Amino acid sequence: MNYSIKNYIQQGKEIVEQKLSSLYTDTNIPENLKASMEYSLLAGGKRLRPILLLASYHSFKKTDEAKTLRTAAALEMIHTYSLIHDDLPAMDDDDYRRGALTNHKKFDEATAILAGDALLTNSFELIAEDELLTAEEKVFLITELSHASGPEGMVAGQVLDMEGEMSTLSLEELEKVHEHKTGKLISFAIIAGAYLGNATETQLTHLKKFAYYLGIIFQVQDDILDVIGDQEKLGKPVGSDEENEKSTYPNLLGLEGAKNHLSAYTEKALQALQEANIEQSYLEQLLYYFGERDH
Amino acid sequence: MNYSIKNYIQQGKEIVEQKLSSLYTDTNIPENLKASMEYSLLAGGKRLRPILLLASYHSFKKTDEAKTLRTAAALEMIHTYSLIHDDLPAMDDDDYRRGALTNHKKFDEATAILAGDALLTNSFELIAEDELLTAEEKVFLITELSHASGPEGMVAGQVLDMEGEMSTLSLEELEKVHEHKTGKLISFAIIAGAYLGNATETQLTHLKKFAYYLGIIFQVQDDILDVIGDQEKLGKPVGSDEENEKSTYPNLLGLEGAKNHLSAYTEKALQALQEANIEQSYLEQLLYYFGERDH
C-alpha cells in the first residue's frame, strides 16, 4: 500500500474522531443515554464514510475541511445508529462488534434502541445548526442524507437484506441490496464532499456513478474477506457467511469470479472518476485502498 | 363541549390524515416496509400534535394551511415512530394500541424497528423538500424538530421514564419526564405553527410557556383518565398505571390533588396565552378541550 494514502486515511480518522468525541461535552443528555450513544460512536471502526467525504472535498482543491466536519460526523452517526439497531436480537442478534460487546449487550435492548434513535435524530440537528454552512447548503445536505438513509435508501437495504436471507438472490438482486444497504451512504459521502467543494452538476453526475461502483466494490471485498480474511485483523469470525448460507459474491460467482467482478467494477469506477475530471487523486487512491484492504 | 371547536378539530384531523395517506403513493419503498410504516401512520389517533400546529398557525390570522402540512405530517411521523418503538418487547411490550395490534405484533420486531427508523428519517426529508418553504424556514423547523425529538428532547424523556419506573418520583422529577417525553413535541407544534404564522420573538417566548403548561395538562389528564376513564372510549385498559405502581399525578397527589393541579396549570397556560397577545381563540379552546376530554 502507498504510504501517503495510509497516512492520509490516518489523519482523516483522527480529525473525524476528534470531532465525534467533542459532540456531547456541553449537552443536557441523560447520563446513561449519552454513555450508550458514545459507547458505539467512539468504538473505533474504519471511519470510511467520513474519510470519503473529506477526500471528495479535498479533491476539489479545498484544504480547510472545517466546513465538512459536522456533515462528516452526522454521516458517521447515521452509520453507527444503523449498526446498533442491526445488532439487536430481533435483527442480526450479534453479541460482539469490532471485538467489543454490542450496544445492547453492554447496556440493554431498550437503551440500545433509544441510543440509535437519538444518534439518528441528532445527526440532522448537527447539520441544521452548522454555523459554517448557508441555509441552502444545509437543506441540500439534509435532503440528500435523509433520502440516502431513509425508506428508499439504507432502511430499504436492511429490509431487502432480511427478505433476501430467506432465498438465494440473483446477482442483480444482491446488487440492489448492497446499493441500498451500504451504497447509498457511501454515495452521500462522495456527493456531500463534492457539493461542498463546489463541484459542477456534470461532475456530480459522474461522481454518483463512481460512488455506486465504489459501494459495490466495498461489499464484494467484504464478502471475499469473509472467505479468505484473517479473523484477527477483521475483529470478527470468518466463514460466517457460508455457514449462514448467505447470498454473497463468492457464493454466487465463486471466489475467482468475485475477484474478477471486483476488478471489472474497479475499472468502471476509475472511468467514472476520470470523466468527473477532478485534479486531486485522493479518491483514486482510496479506490485502490478499498480493493486491497485486509480488514 | 363547544360544537365549533369539535368541528374545527374534526376538520384538522381530516386535512392531516389526507396528507398522511398521500405521502407514500409515488415512492420506491419495499412493499412490506411501506405497509408497516402506513399501518401505524394511518391507524387513527387523535392527531393532536398536527392539529395544535394548525391551530397555532391559524391563530395568526392565516387561513391557508398548505404551508404547514408537510411539517404537521413530519411531526405526526415522529410521534408515530416513537409509539412503534415504545411498544416493542424490549420497551413497554404492548400487544395492542388503539384497539389494534401493535406494529411488531402485526408485522415482526425487526420490521417494526425499521419502520420506526424509516418514519423518523423520512420526517426530516419531508420538510427539507417542502416547496412552499424557504431554505431559512426549513432550517428553523428541522433544527427545532430534531432538538425536540432527540437526545435532549423526546428520547431523553423515554430514558427518564424508564429509569423512573424503578423508583417513586417526586413531582418535580415526574414533570421533567413529561416535559421531555410528550412536552417537547407539543411545544414544537405550537412554535412551528406560530413561526410559520410570522409570530414575533416575544410572542414565541410566551407561546413556549403556554406549550409547556399544555404538555403537562395533557399528561395529567391522561393520568386522571387512567383512573376514572371509560375503557371503551380510551381504547386501552384503565387502572394499568396503579397496577404497575407507576409514578402518576393521581398516585402522587391523589385524584383530587391531580384535578387541582390540572386547574392551576390551566390558569397558568391561559395567562401565558393572553401575554402572547394573539387574536384568534383556537388555542384557548383547544386548551379547554384538553382539560375536558374523555379519551
Are B103 and B74 in contact, with CB atoms under 8 Å apart? no
More confidently predicted of A218 and B80: B80
Q: What is the pLDDT of residues A10-31, one digit of tens each?
A: 999 999 999 999 999 999 999 9
Q: Does the structure show a pLDDT above 50 at A1?
A: no
* CB pair distance less than 8 Å for B117 and A122: no
> Which pLDDT score, from 0 to 100, does residue A237 have?
62
Residues of B in contact with A121 (CB under 8 A): 120, 146, 149-151, 155
A75-89, A278-292, B198-212, range with the lowest pLDDT: A278-292
Q: What is the pLDDT of residues A232-285, one digit of tens each?
A: 666 666 666 666 677 899 999 999 999 999 999 999 999 999 999 997 789 999
Give Cβ neighbours of residue B227 (< 8 Å, ≥ 6 apart): B238, B239, B241, B242, B250, B255
Neighbours of A292 (CB within 10 A): 10
pLDDT band per the 50, 70, 90 thresholds, residue B14: very high
Over the range A89-125, which residues count as b (16 or more CB within 10 Å of their CB) and which as e? bbbbebeebeeeebbbbbbebbbbbbbbbbbbbbbbb
Q: What is the pLDDT of residues A196-205, one digit of tens each?
A: 999 999 999 9
> Which pLDDT score, from 0 to 100, does residue A166 have?
83
Q: Does the structure show a pLDDT above 70 at B96?
A: yes
User: Which of B27, B108, B126, B139 should one mutate to test binding to chain A, selecting the residue with the greatest count of A CBs within 10 A?
Assistant: B139
Average pLDDT (B22-51) is: 96
CA–CA separation, B78 and A109 (whole Å): 20
Cell of B156: 431523553
CA–CA separation, B196 and B283 (whole Å): 16
DSSP 8-state class, residue B66: G
> Which pLDDT score, from 0 to 100, does residue B2 have?
57
* CB pair distance less than 8 Å for A122 and B33: no
> Which pLDDT score, from 0 to 100, does residue B23 have?
97
Rg (CA), chain A: 18
CA–CA separation, A116 and A94 (whole Å): 15
User: Which of B108, B152, B154, B165 should one mutate to test binding to chain A, selecting the residue with the greatest count of A CBs within 10 A?
Assistant: B152
Q: Does the structure show a pLDDT above 80 at A292?
A: no
Are A171 and A252 in contact, with CB atoms under 8 Å apart? yes
Are B104 and A72 in contact, with CB atoms under 8 Å apart? no
* CB pair distance less than 8 Å for B113 and A90: yes
CA–CA separation, B103 and B105 (whole Å): 5
User: Which of A79, A152, A161 should one mutate to test binding to chain B, selecting the residue with the greatest count of B CBs within 10 A?
Assistant: A152
Residues of A in contact with B155 (CB under 8 A): 33, 114, 117-118, 121
> Which pLDDT score, from 0 to 100, does residue A150 have?
98
Q: Does the structure show a pLDDT above 90 at B245?
A: no
Mean pLDDT of chain B: 92
> Which pLDDT score, from 0 to 100, does residue B238 have?
65
Q: What is the pLDDT of residues A132-173, one digit of tens each?
A: 999 999 999 999 999 999 999 999 999 999 999 888 899 999
Residues of B in contact with A122 (CB under 8 A): 146, 150-151
* CB pair distance less than 8 Å for A29 and B158: no
Nearest CB to A156 within list B29, B125, B150: B29
Structural domains of chain A, with CATH: 3-292 (1.10.600.10)
Q: What is the pLDDT of residues B137-180, one digit of tens each?
A: 999 999 999 999 999 999 999 999 999 988 889 999 999 999 99
Residues of B in contact with A129 (CB under 8 A): 143
* CB pair distance less than 8 Å for B122 and A29: no
How large is the ipTM? 0.94
Mean pLDDT of chain A: 92
